[in-house]
Amino acid sequence: MTNPTCSASELASKRCQPCEGGVPAYSPEAALAQIEKLEGWKITHDGQRIRKDWRLKNFLAAIAFFEQVAKIAEADAHHPDLHLEGYRNVWIEIYTHAIGGLSENDFILAAKIDAISL
Q: Check whether 1 has a pLDDT greater than 60.
A: no
Domain spans, the chain: 24-114
pTM of the predicted model, to two decimals?
A: 0.93
Output the pLDDT for position 2.
Answer: 63
Architecture per CATH, 24-114? 2-Layer Sandwich (3.30)
Q: Is the alpha carbon torsion for 29, 51, 25, 70 positive or negative? A: negative
Output the pLDDT for position 24.
Answer: 87
Q: Check whether 4 has a pLDDT greater than 90.
A: no
pLDDT in tens, 56-100: 999 999 999 999 999 999 999 999 999 999 999 999 999 998 998
